[in-house]
Structure 1
Amino acid sequence: MSSFYTPRHRAALAIALVCSLKKKNRRKRSVWSKEWLLKRETLSHMALLQELREHNPEDFKNYLRMSDSCFEVLLEAVSPLIQRQDTVMRKSISPEQRLIATLRFLATGRTFEDLKFSTGISAQALGHIIPDTCRAIVEALKQEYLQFPSTPEEWLQVAKQFEDYWNFPNCGGAIDGKHVRINPPPNSGSYYYNYKGYFSVILLAVVNAKYEFIMVDIGKNGRVSDGGVIEQTLFYQKLKEKQLQLPSNSETKEGLNFVFVADEAFALHENLIKPFPQKTLTPARKIFNYRLSRARRVVENAFGILANRFRIFHTTINLSPQKIDIIVFACCILHNFLRRNNANSYTPSNLIDQEDIHARNVIPGEWRNENNGFIELQGTQAHNNTRDAKSNRDRYVDYFTGVGAVDWQSAMV
């Protein structure tokens, strides 16, 4: 005799039973939010910040890495992008609270779980708020504060500053890169594993004579050969294809190639020069190396200032690669914003390398007194430099030891 229940009936009953058991085992949510988190205005750092703003402005600067006036300018710029609507269930977190939480995260590198106690915002909410606010900072400030030259005239303005400040003509910027330590994403294997035994993404930058970033490329995986990182950037592709709109030799000083300065990790190029190796030095090449190091020092200092002021770089960032990229990008733009609007506080003179030409020495900036958390790029293979690239560098040697010589250079090498 056949069963009363057909296979179809039995399957339906089994599904119903499973659903019933899941419903019984599901924990009831006791509260929508923890009680103390609902008292954000009184229990968080907002009351403290108001006190600091009114009576201790220097402590306010230290807390958020900027003055009250700079904070207000920044808040006005990003508020339209991070404002959220109140709901019938709860009041939204204000733009001011979102920005303060984000700046404190960047300044300290504290975990979301730790930061929730001072902000009064749950760790889960911070995981959304901080990347969103960083994205808003980039969107609001990028056009004004991360300007990449696009005409020969704009490049010549950058070069004039290098010549005025560092006695290096025809220079469009100093190039360098750093490994930013991360926790690798799930199932990524050794994709982000670098030569130092860390997991990282790479921040590559071009910096102008005033320690400002004019180009940043973020997110190349740490496993990439350091010497080849630049070759994967849009900047380098345009450089090779002569699409950067650089000045022609008829517009440059002494008809020399317009160049970018870099260190040994990068390949020599007609428009990119680096020092001579120690084993090949002559008196003339020593002078060239020193003159180049003065111009290249700006990028070392820019990275040093960045890590000194934004301690997130002293940590291992535990977020998805996409969120890490936007957080690093926001730090670079905030660096430029503060260099222009709050330079004396953000970068006091003792923080940056100082050169005393009369005493014939370099006084290291205070950022060099600590490990800044970055990992240096390292050249991993010999580069086959073209004859034109070598010839271009030799012409700069002749210039620095000839018509472009300065009276103090021999004493500094």
Structure 2
Amino acid sequence: MRAALTVENRVAIALWKLATPDSYRSVGHQFGVGKSTVGAAGIEVANAIKELLISRVVTLGHVQVIVDGFAATGFPKCGGEIDGTHIPILAPEHQGSEYINQKGYFRMVQQALVDHKGRFTNINMRCQGKARDARIFRNSGLFQKLQQGTFLPDQKITIGDVEMPIVILGDPAYSLMSWLMKAYTGSLDSSQELFNSSLSKCRMVVECAFEHLKVRWRSLLTQIDLSETNIPIVITACCVLHSICESKGETFMASWDVEENLLAADYTQPDTKAVSRVQEGAVRVRSFENQFHEWPGYSVKVQFVSP
């Protein structure tokens, strides 16, 4: 029997598979191994990254440094930004409808909190694409910790009669809390517009973090063909590697965005118009069915004709 692959080779295979949209066969040819070996090495290394590195890398770190970093951007007393992103997956064998998002795509949602440098300080996986960001957040351990005041330090400043704690920032999908700020809506005065402008400028950090995550680890741009159990492991490993790259000051090349756009253009998406037409037809059927409940005496005679 041939010698087992070295740890270095297994790590190289896994990193190549995570960083490219290449098929298992293509990666196997690159390293002179079979498709099954590529799959096994990828999961083995991703699981090791998750078990050994996540608690050391995906962590809050020094909160005051984060607060100072956001303050330099224009928003004081901020300890992070919360948001979610959708990762394309193949339709699961069971409960596939739970993974269909609003656009009709099969997705798994990743919720993440990032610091001022775009590093993940908290992540939440295993979220079905059907779920809304606000619901995912409320059901997460991060929400419970923030609500109990155990995640961020209890550092408050008093302005007038209001105590201002360290807060996180969210988009309009999230609920306004004493520790979660989001933009004003409706007719705004000048001070509210200034607040929204400062918040929007800071919100760019989390959007760039998700962009860098997917462009560096382009396997997240294609439909991940793994089981429901292994998909969160792979995405978590990519998040850990992303934070390591950001911490080390790894260069992000502009040309990678071009490659991402080309890859997205080649990726076949579901026909959302067809989905909408089906939904409109279903609404009409339901409306007609409702008439039978309103008029119990009304009946329809159906005749089946042989072809």
TM-score (norm 2): 0.78
- For 2:16, give the aligned amino acid: R
| CA distance in 2: counterparts of 1:91 and 1:267, whole angstroms | 56
Alignment deviations for residues 185-229 of structure 1 (CA, whole Å, 9 cap, x no partner): 213231211111011111011111111111111111111133311
Give the deviation of 1:240 after TM superposition.
1.9
Alignment deviations for residues 311-345 of structure 1 (CA, whole Å, 9 cap, x no partner): 112101110122111111111111111112242x2
Secondary structure at 1:195 match in 2: coil
CA contact (8 A) 1:177 1:203 kept: yes
CA contact (8 A) 2:215 2:257 kept: no
| 2:261 counterpart residue number | 370
User: Which structure 2 residues correspond to residues 103-252 of structure 1 after superposition, within 5 A?
Assistant: 103-149=15-61, 154-164=62-72, 166-250=73-157
Q: 1:300 aligns with which of 178, 201, 207?
A: 207
Question: Does 2:231 match 1:319?
Answer: no
| 1:272 counterpart residue number | 180
Q: Which consecutive residues of structure 1, in runs of 5 or more, have no partner in the other structure?
A: 1-88, 352-364, 376-413
Number of residue pairs matched? 264
| CA distance in 2: counterparts of 1:310 and 1:258, whole angstroms | 32
Secondary structure at 1:317 match in 2: coil
Classify 1:338/1:245 alpha carbon distance in 2 versus 1 (closer, same or farther; 3 Å): closer
| CA distance in 2: counterparts of 1:93 and 1:109, whole angstroms | 23
- For 1:203, give the aligned amino acid: Q
CA contact (8 A) 1:304 1:368 kept: no
| 2:164 counterpart residue number | 256
Give the deviation of 1:256 after TM superposition.
1.8
| 2:273 counterpart residue number | none
Give the deviation of 1:135 after TM superposition.
1.4
CA contact (8 A) 2:168 2:181 kept: yes
Give the deviation of 1:371 after TM superposition.
8.1
Secondary structure at 2:226 match in 1: coil
Give the deviation of 1:250 after TM superposition.
4.2
| 2:198 counterpart residue number | 291
CA contact (8 A) 1:212 1:339 kept: yes
Secondary structure at 1:217 match in 2: strand
- For 1:323, give the aligned amino acid: N
Classify 1:265/1:282 alpha carbon distance in 2 versus 1 (closer, same or farther; 3 Å): same
| CA distance in 2: counterparts of 1:226 and 1:372, whole angstroms | 26
Classify 1:212/1:311 alpha carbon distance in 2 versus 1 (closer, same or farther; 3 Å): same
Question: Does 2:235 match 1:328?
Answer: yes
Classify 1:288/1:371 alpha carbon distance in 2 versus 1 (closer, same or farther; 3 Å): farther
| 1:53 counterpart residue number | none
CA contact (8 A) 2:183 2:199 kept: yes
Secondary structure at 1:190 match in 2: helix
| CA distance in 2: counterparts of 1:342 and 1:98, whole angstroms | 25
Alignment deviations for residues 62-104 of structure 1 (CA, whole Å, 9 cap, x no partner): xxxxxxxxxxxxxxxxxxxxxxxxxxx2210111211111111
Alignment deviations for residues 338-382 of structure 1 (CA, whole Å, 9 cap, x no partner): 112242x2x25x68xxxxxxxxxxxxx958983896x9xxxxxxx
Alignment deviations for residues 282-305 of structure 1 (CA, whole Å, 9 cap, x no partner): 222111111001111100010111
- For 2:48, give the aligned amino acid: A
| CA distance in 2: counterparts of 1:260 and 1:309, whole angstroms | 26
Q: Which consecutive residues of structure 2, in runs of 5 or more, have no partner in the other structure?
A: 270-307
Classify 1:210/1:251 alpha carbon distance in 2 versus 1 (closer, same or farther; 3 Å): farther
Give the deviation of 1:251 after TM superposition.
8.5
- For 2:25, give the aligned amino acid: E
| CA distance in 1: counterparts of 2:218 and 2:259, whole angstroms | 14
Give the deviation of 1:237 after TM superposition.
1.5
TM-score (norm 1): 0.59
Classify 1:369/1:337 alpha carbon distance in 2 versus 1 (closer, same or farther; 3 Å): closer
Classify 1:226/1:107 alpha carbon distance in 2 versus 1 (closer, same or farther; 3 Å): same
Give the deviation of 1:232 after TM superposition.
1.3
Identity %: 28
CA contact (8 A) 1:156 1:170 kept: no
